A and B are shown apart, each in its own frame.
Chain A
Amino acid sequence: MPASRVPLHPRPGECALSTVATNHLLAASGEDGGFHPPSIAEFFPAPFLFEGTPFEMNRIILVRLLVTAVLVLVFVLAARRAKLVPGRGQNVAEMLLDFVRVNIAQETLGHNARRFVPMLTTIFFAVLAMNLTGVVPFLNIASTSLIGMPLVLAAWVYVMYLGVGIKKFGVGGYLKNNLFPPGLPPFLYVLVTPIEALQVFVFRPATLALRLTANMIAGHLILVLCFGATHFFLFQASGAMKAFSAMSLVAGVAFTLFEILVAALQAYIFALLAAVYLNMAVEEEH
């Protein structure tokens, strides 16, 4: 496969190491000196390991695995050192875990919460950590901006809520519960049942995955645009145009902060919706 599979990355060795988002534009502008707006090619960097196999690794995958290791390591270390009387770090860890356990699981699922806490905790922290890589210097890409990760997590939620629902009510009972909401006049079921079926079997997992991916892609493009514009105005624009670089830099910083908010918000929404879907499956009455 040619090295310039993605036009913004002329050399694969550099691709693995080039990290700051603006570097893409620096590399690109080195060729023809023009301003290149960010493109979706950002999300398909050249592979550098196991190229052509299903285990192909590119920069985003590397970031994903790195943040996975960091996340697990941090929490395992916190758990190893956990004592009855918590220290400062343990307090923070417990606060985060309590947030998922209480504010997401228990408030949504009530007495059913306990058995779903590990799953919701895993989902919340996985999404949060992988979202946050989008604003970490030198990583600069949310590892959830590739659809694979959100899709895998959404599929897990999907299988889980179908599974616990069917286990509890049987296939017929589950479908009746979810597709035929009680208390409607019979002719309305002609309308409602197909909508509910689409909801349960398609829209819920699809929207879970798409919402997260789309948010992360858009966030990354905005950040690249801001910092790319800053770079362009500062080094390539002439005279008074250089002043625009300050403006776009401020915008970039503001959007970076905004992206931190979005990262946390999307993790919360993903975990909360997962809890809501699970609750809809195991609840007696809707």
Chain B
Amino acid sequence: MKAVVDAAALLAAEPGEEVEGINLLIPADYDIIWSLVAAAIIAFGFYKLVLPKFTAILDERTEKIEGGLARAENAQAEAAEALAAYQRQLTEARAEAARIREEARAEGGVIVAELRQKASDDAARILENAQRQIEAERQQASVALRAEVGSLATELASRIVGESLADSARQSRVIDRFLDDLEASTAAGATAPAAGRQEG
């Protein structure tokens, strides 16, 4: 091959001579050698320096992304669990609250009923006392009145008997006088009712 190239070079060396076209397809030895060198350098660079680094980075990135996804899934599961627990607690709390409210309502009803009962008892008792007192006072009044009416009747009768009852004018005058006396005694009795009552 070198011989061919050298021959071509010699041919080309003549001024005005062209290089043979076939030389474009037959590599010179220096061409092959420097091609090998260039290919070896590029191959070394990519095989040993460039691709391992980029592969490692790609793998690491994939791992990071997968790890991140797994973590996110975990976090989501945890969140869902927490939410469920929270809702369970909430439901429980609501039920508890409803129960407490129900109990309170029942208790309140009992208390109200008790109070009402007590109040009506008190009212009945107070009413009874009042009636008893009124009855006592009425009896006392009636006793006093009976005694007084008796004495009045006696007095009136004695006065009527004492006076002449033939004359109706006199009769009415007697009655008027009696009533006036009664009024006067009543007025005196009003100023000192206790004395009046003692009299009765």
Name the A residues within 8 Å of B17 (CB-CB). 7
Expressed in whole angstroms, the Cα–Cα distance for A213 and B8 within the complex equals 19
Q: Is the CB of A147 within 8 A of B24?
A: yes
Complex partner residue of B27 from A80, A126, A148, CB under 8 angstroms:
A148
Name the B residues within 8 Å of A44 (CB-CB). 8-9, 12, 19, 23
* Interface stretch of the complex, out of A149-157, A181-189, A257-265: A149-157
Expressed in whole angstroms, the Cα–Cα distance for A122 and B51 within the complex equals 10
Complex partner residue of A148 from B15, B28, B57, CB under 8 angstroms:
B28
Complex partner residue of B34 from A57, A83, A125, CB under 8 angstroms:
A57
Name the B residues within 8 Å of A147 (CB-CB). 24-27, 31
Q: Is the CB of B53 within 8 A of A5?
A: no
* Interface stretch of the complex, out of A16-24, A61-69, A166-174: A61-69
Complex partner residue of A84 from B15, B39, B64, CB under 8 angstroms:
B64
The reply on A244 being an interface residue by CB < 8 A is no
Name the B residues within 8 Å of A80 (CB-CB). 53
Which residues of chain B from 59 to 91 have a CB within 8 Å of any chain A CB? 60-61, 64
Q: Chain B, 98-117, contact with A by CB distance < 8 Å: what is the 0/1 string?
A: 00000000000000000000
Q: Is the CB of A122 within 8 A of B43?
A: yes
Q: Chain B, 22-57, contact with A by CB distance < 8 Å: what is the 0/1 string?
A: 011111111111111111011111110111011001
Expressed in whole angstroms, the Cα–Cα distance for A57 and B28 within the complex equals 11
Given A79-B53, A147-B24, A72 and B30 touching (CB < 8 A)? no
The reply on A39 being an interface residue by CB < 8 A is yes
Expressed in whole angstroms, the Cα–Cα distance for A39 and B21 within the complex equals 9
Q: Is the CB of B31 within 8 A of A39?
A: no
Identify the 7 closest CB pairs spanning chains A and B, nearest first.
A148-B31, A72-B45, A148-B35, A79-B53, A56-B30, A148-B27, A152-B35
- Can you pick out 27 interface pairs between chain A and chain B where the beta carbons lie within 8 Å of each other? A1-B9, A2-B13, A7-B12, A7-B15, A39-B19, A44-B8, A54-B30, A55-B33, A57-B30, A61-B30, A61-B34, A64-B34, A64-B35, A68-B41, A68-B42, A75-B50, A82-B57, A84-B64, A94-B58, A118-B46, A118-B47, A118-B51, A143-B38, A148-B35, A149-B31, A152-B35, A156-B39
